[in-house]
């Protein structure tokens, strides 16, 4: 009986709580700026990849049941881009939690022909990192062959792995624009965004 009483007191003191979780904030969309039905064109100077934003998602505010001592919200956004030919797609996603000092996590996946490449980075307090600890400086300006873009993030894949090179080894992402250039490993093709 004492155990049951103790458990009831413990639950009433630390009991379940409903917390208000925010929707995905507009200010964090700067690294996944795609809007549904946008048309996106990349060229390597010979061929053109015609792509369209098929779907976007952004979590809305919600209520979460939580223990008082474990307040936690999970907030996410994503966009899906596919193209002509059908073998080309870009998926970008982002999430963050309500934990203090937890960065906003971003992921870009480029699928092309028979493979794909994944590029992850994080942002917190106007600082961009990879692997949660390596600070990456934005390029003040980058010209992709068509236009100068400010605040560009350059991400590389390791090409020295013994089990093979990644399909895409380098991408450039312009803040509030998205991917403006990516480079293939095998044939060294460089695909650049036309316009936007």
Tell me the C-alpha distance between 22 and 165, whole Å.
40
Indicate the SS3 state at residue 98.
coil
CA distance 84 to 52: 9
Among the ranges given (20-34, 69-83, 145-159, 178-192), the one the predictor scored with the smallest mean pLDDT: 69-83
For the four alpha carbons of 132, 183, 114 and 76, in that order, the dihedral sign comes to positive
pTM of this structure: 0.85
Please indicate whether residue 68 or residue 193 has the higher confidence score (pLDDT). Answer: 193
At residue 44, the 3 state secondary structure works out as coil
Query: Which residue, chain included where needed, has tokens 């797609």?
Result: 89
Q: What is the pLDDT of residues 131-183, one digit of tens each?
A: 999 999 999 999 999 999 999 999 998 777 766 677 889 999 999 999 999 99
Q: Tell me the domain boundaries of the chain.
A: 17-193
């Amino acid at each position: 009986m004492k155990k049951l009483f103790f458990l009831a007191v413990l639950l009433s003191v630390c009991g379940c709580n409903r917390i208000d979780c925010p929707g995905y904030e507009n200010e964090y969309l700067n690294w996944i700026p795609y809007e549904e039905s946008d048309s996106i064109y990349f060229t390597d100077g010979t061929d053109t990849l015609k792509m369209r934003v098929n779907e976007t998602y952004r979590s809305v505010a919600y209520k979460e049941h939580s223990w008082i001592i474990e307040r936690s919200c999970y907030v996410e956004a994503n966009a899906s881009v596919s193209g002509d030919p059908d073998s080309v797609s870009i998926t970008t996603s982002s999430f963050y939690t309500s934990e203090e000092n937890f960065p906003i996590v971003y992921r870009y996946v480029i699928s092309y022909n028979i493979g794909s490449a994944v590029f992850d980075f994080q942002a917190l307090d106007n600082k961009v990192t990879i692997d949660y600890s390596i600070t990456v400086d934005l390029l003040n300006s980058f010209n992709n062959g068509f236009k100068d873009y400010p605040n560009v993030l350059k991400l590389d894949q390791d090409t020295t792995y013994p089990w093979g090179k990644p399909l895409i080894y380098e991408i450039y992402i312009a803040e509030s624009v998205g991917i403006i250039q990516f480079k293939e490993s095998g044939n060294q093709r460089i695909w650049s965004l036309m316009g936007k």
